[in-house]
Chains A and B, each alone.
Chain A
Amino acid sequence: MSFVKGLECRECGQKYPKEPLHVCETCFGPLEVVYDYDRIKKSISREGILSRPKNLWRYRELLPIDGEPRAGLYSGFTPLVRADRLAEVFGVKELYIKDDSVNHPTFSYKDRVVSVAISKAIEFGFDTVSCASTGNLANAVAAHAAKAGLNCYVFIPDGLEQGKIIGSAIYGPRTVAIKGNYDDVNRLCSEIADKYGWAFVNVNLRPYYAEGAKTHGFEVAEQLGWKLPRHIVVASAGGTILPKIAKAFKELKQVGLVEDGECRIYSAQASGCAPIIQALKRGTDLISPVKPNTIASSIAIGNPADGYYVLQAVKESGGWGESVTDAEILDAIKLLARTEGIFTEPAGGTEVAVTRKLIQQGRIPRDESIVISVTGNGYKTLEVVAKSVEQPFTIKANLKDFDELYLELNQPSPGKAVASEG
Chain B
Amino acid sequence: MANPKEKVCERVYLTFPKELVREPVVCWLAKKFDITFNIRGSTVTAEMGLVALEIDGERQEVNRAVEWLKEKGVIVEPIEKNVIE
Is there an interface contact between B15 and A303, defined as CB atoms closer than 8 Å? yes
Is there an interface contact between B84 and A182, defined as CB atoms closer than 8 Å? yes
Tell me the complex Cα distance, A238–B82, Å. Answer: 7
Q: Is B32 an interface residue, CB under 8 A from the partner?
A: no
B residues contacting the other copy or chain, number (CB 8 A): 23
**In the complex, chain A residues whose CB is within 8 Å of the CB of B78:** 186-187, 189-191
Q: Is A23 an interface residue, CB under 8 A from the partner?
A: yes
**In the complex, chain A residues whose CB is within 8 Å of the CB of B76:** 183, 187
Bitwise, A32-76 to B at CB < 8 A (1) or not (0) is 000000000000000000000000000000000000000000000
Query: Which B1-47 residues have a C-beta within 8 angstroms of A?
Result: 11, 13, 15, 17, 40-41, 43, 45, 47
Write the nearest CB–CB distance from B20 to chain A, whole angstroms.
12
**In the complex, chain A residues whose CB is within 8 Å of the CB of B84:** 132-134, 155, 157, 182, 185-186, 189, 301
Is there an interface contact between A301 and B77, defined as CB atoms closer than 8 Å? no
Q: Is A311 an interface residue, CB under 8 A from the partner?
A: no
Is there an interface contact between A286 and B50, defined as CB atoms closer than 8 Å? yes
Which of B11, B47, B77, B79 contacts A183, CB < 8 Å? B77
Bitwise, A286-304 to B at CB < 8 A (1) or not (0) is 1011000000000001111
Q: Is A106 an interface residue, CB under 8 A from the partner?
A: no
A residues contacting the other copy or chain, number (CB 8 A): 40
Tell me the complex Cα distance, A183–B50, Å. Answer: 16
Q: Is A11 an interface residue, CB under 8 A from the partner?
A: yes
Is there an interface contact between A286 and B81, defined as CB atoms closer than 8 Å? no
Is there an interface contact between A202 and B85, defined as CB atoms closer than 8 Å? yes
Q: Is A264 an interface residue, CB under 8 A from the partner?
A: no
Bitwise, B43-72 to A at CB < 8 A (1) or not (0) is 101011010100000000000000000000
Which of B17, B45, B47, B80 contacts A22, CB < 8 Å? B80
Is there an interface contact between B77 and A187, defined as CB atoms closer than 8 Å? yes
**In the complex, chain A residues whose CB is within 8 Å of the CB of B83:** 132, 185-186, 189-190, 193, 200, 202-203
The answer to whether residues A133 and B85 also contact, given A284-B47, A286-B50, A288-B47 and a CB cut-off of 8 A, is: yes
Tell me the complex Cα distance, A286–B51, Å. Answer: 12
**In the complex, chain B residues whose CB is within 8 Å of the CB of A302:** 82
Is there an interface contact between A28 and B40, defined as CB atoms closer than 8 Å? yes
Tell me the complex Cα distance, A301–B11, Å. Answer: 20
Is there an interface contact between B41 and A305, defined as CB atoms closer than 8 Å? no
Tell me the complex Cα distance, A186–B80, Å. Answer: 8
Is there an interface contact between B79 and A301, defined as CB atoms closer than 8 Å? no
Query: Which A292-334 residues have a C-beta within 8 angstroms of B?
Result: 301-305
* Extra pairs beyond A28-B79, A185-B83, A202-B85 (7, CB < 8 Å): A28-B40, A133-B85, A183-B76, A193-B83, A301-B84, A301-B85, A303-B82
